[in-house]
Amino acid sequence: MNNKIYDLANLKSMIGDDETAIKEFVSLFIETSAETLEELNQAFQSKDFSQVGSLAHKLKSSIDLMGIESLKEEIRKIERIGKEMTDLELLPTLIEKLNDGIEIARNEMKKDILD
Amino acid sequence: MESFKIFIVEDDRLYGELLAFNLSLNPDYEVELFTTGQECVSNLYKNPSAISLDYSLPDMTGFEVLEKIKKYNPEIPVVIVSGQEDVSTAVGLLKKGAYDYIVKDEDTKDRLWNCMKNIRENLSLKKEILELKEEIGKKYEFTSVIKGNSPSIQKAFRLMEKATKTNITVSISGETGTGKELVAKAIHYNSDRAKKPFVAVNMTAIPRELIESELFGHEKGAFTGAAIRRIGKFEEAHKGTIFLDEIAEMDLSLQSKILRVLQEKEVTRVGGNQVIKLDVRVIVATHKNLAEEVKKGNFREDLYYRLLGLPIELPPLRERGNDILILAKYFVDEFCKENKLPKLTFTQAAQEKLMKYPFPGNVRELKAVVELASVMTNNNYIDAEDITFNSASQTTDFLLEENTLRTYIQQIVSHYLKKYDNNIVLVAQKLDIGKSTIYRMLKNGEIELN
């Protein structure tokens, strides 16, 4: 049974089993997700919720691609809240969960694939 | 096949790189990735063959980028790839001219791949059509259509040139086989309308009960058998040219309907109410004398004057002198080229035989005759004996021989004797001559019993 937070089946269906390519895309995810998450946290601090929504939208496809199931629902909720400006009180918990989830995924990926 | 340049516009660099990686697996694709709408717009000068565009970009919406792309070049196909699962957005983008809308999910790769494949095939087909159109244009250059130096054909040539400069209605007259449709096509393909349709309708080839729906179209259920809506020839020719051949054969009721279409420049489909505006150039042709038909009451005078426009009369081949040889040589050369045969020439006797023949079927007949001769000859030249005339009127062949009256009489009597089993009494009755005349000819050895 796969206990990992991520699942690369979707990525592999798009690029095949080329290990070098898989490593490249995992590295790219680690790099870009960190950048986007940083921007999202800053937008949240500045209460720019619409920007939070846009950045969640941007991160959504990466999360789907890397098969991070536990964040799929959360990222969509953040996107919706930013767009509709409702349920804003849920954002802190959701963003915290997002940060934690991405952190775990990045660490697991680094250990499993890049090391 | 030419290289196919794809722009990927995607703010999520990971996703963009992934799409680029995937599409680059096709060695014919040249993929470039941009992360903002502005970057994409600034690079349009590179003429991408297709664009994959993310709907949500940091600097502009998909609508804005799409609009700018379409303003730059409406022909560039844009596929929207978006995480936005919103039907109204998708419909809005498609209405604005997006080629397709793909939602980001596990099937994105395959759908985008298929989209690009289809776009590429369409582009290749469009290019092929364009090349064919240019090819057709060349085929109908005046010098390819009009062969000959006779004054009568040169006059037609000058009128054709005039006809290409404006949208004036052209009426072409001439015997069958003189090349009326060819002239109509040459006018169309040398005019400003060359890239638009040329629609030819032979009025005698369509059953009377179908002609209206054929010309004006019909709505679904307009009559029994009208299962779907169909546009007519006039609509088909919109922005182009309609060629109405054998115009004198139309009945009076159809003539009045055609007159209305020409006057109002609009058409209403059979069984419909919608008025459809038309921009159609009209060229008509007939082998009959239309003025005579008007006098006889067979053709409406008002329609006659509306159709007359610029009249071009195509002379019969027998009145074109040396053009017969020019055309014969041209047709043989073309035939040999098409069939990979060695070049053929005409002997003096063959040329004389062609020049003496009146060609009731005109240029069309000449073409058939010389092509047959090209097949019949066993040499690298065509001789008189290789040339056979199969015209519907065989008597012309008989007259070609230019015999004396006496010889003609002998030939006629022999022909009748053969036909009526040497029954001299009957032949004398048929030819209204005395029996003694036939007996005398037999006695003198001028004719023989068969």
Distances in Å between the alpha carbon of B278 and those of A112, B39, B163, B194, B236?
A: 69, 43, 20, 17, 10
Domain extent for A105? 9-114
A28–chain B nearest CA distance, Å:
6
Distances in Å between the alpha carbon of A78 and those of A93, A98, B9, B35, B290?
A: 10, 9, 24, 22, 80
Partner residues linked to B243 by β-bridges? B200, B283
Q: Give B4-132's CATH code, choosing from 3.40.640.10, 3.40.50.300, 3.40.50.1820, 3.40.50.2300.
A: 3.40.50.2300
Give the chain A residue whose CA is nearest to the CA of B106: A10
What is the torsion angle, in degrees rounded to the nearest 10, for the CA atoms of residue B376, residue B381, residue B386 and residue B391? 100
C-alpha span between A78 and A99 (Å, rounded): 12
What class is the B318-398 domain? mainly alpha
The CATH number that applies at residue A61 is: 1.20.120
Cross-chain residue pair B12–A32, CB shorter than 8 Å: yes
Cross-chain residue pair B12–A59, CB shorter than 8 Å: yes
- Provide the 3-class DSSP secondary structure of residue B367: helix
Number of domains chain A contains: 1
C-alpha span between B9 and B7 (Å, rounded): 6
Contact status of A62 with chain B (Cβ, < 8 Å): yes
Cross-chain residue pair B56–A21, CB shorter than 8 Å: no
Q: What is the pLDDT along chain B (450 residues), one digit of tens a residue?
A: 567 999 999 988 899 999 999 899 888 899 999 999 999 999 999 999 999 999 888 788 889 999 999 999 999 999 999 876 677 888 888 999 999 999 887 788 889 999 999 999 998 898 888 878 777 777 777 777 778 888 988 899 899 999 999 999 999 999 888 989 989 999 998 999 988 899 999 998 888 888 888 999 988 877 777 778 888 999 999 999 999 999 999 989 999 999 999 999 999 998 888 899 999 999 999 988 888 999 999 999 999 999 989 999 999 999 999 999 999 999 999 999 999 889 999 999 999 999 988 898 999 999 999 999 999 998 999 999 999 887 555 555 566 566 788 888 888 888 888 878 888 988 999 898 998 999 999 888 888 876
Residue B354's identity, in one-letter code, is L
Q: Give B141-315's CATH code, choosing from 3.40.50.300, 3.90.1310.10, 3.40.1390.20, 3.90.220.20.
A: 3.40.50.300
Residue A77 lies in a domain: yes
Chains A, B: CB contacts within 8 A come to 49
B86–chain A nearest CA distance, Å:
13
Residue A107 lies in a domain: yes
Which residues does B contribute to its contact with A (CB < 8 Å)? 11-15, 17-18, 21-22, 56, 58, 83-84, 104-106, 109
Residue A4 lies in a domain: no
Domain boundaries, chain B: 4-132, 141-315, 318-398, 403-443
Q: pTM of the prediction? A: 0.56
Task: DSSP for B19-36, please give it.
Answer: HHHHHTTSTTEEEEEESS
Q: What interface predicted TM-score (ipTM) does this complex get?
A: 0.87
Cross-chain residue pair B15–A57, CB shorter than 8 Å: no
Candidate from A14, A29, A60 with C-beta closest to B83:
A60
Q: Are domains B4-132 and B141-315 of this chain identical in fold?
A: yes
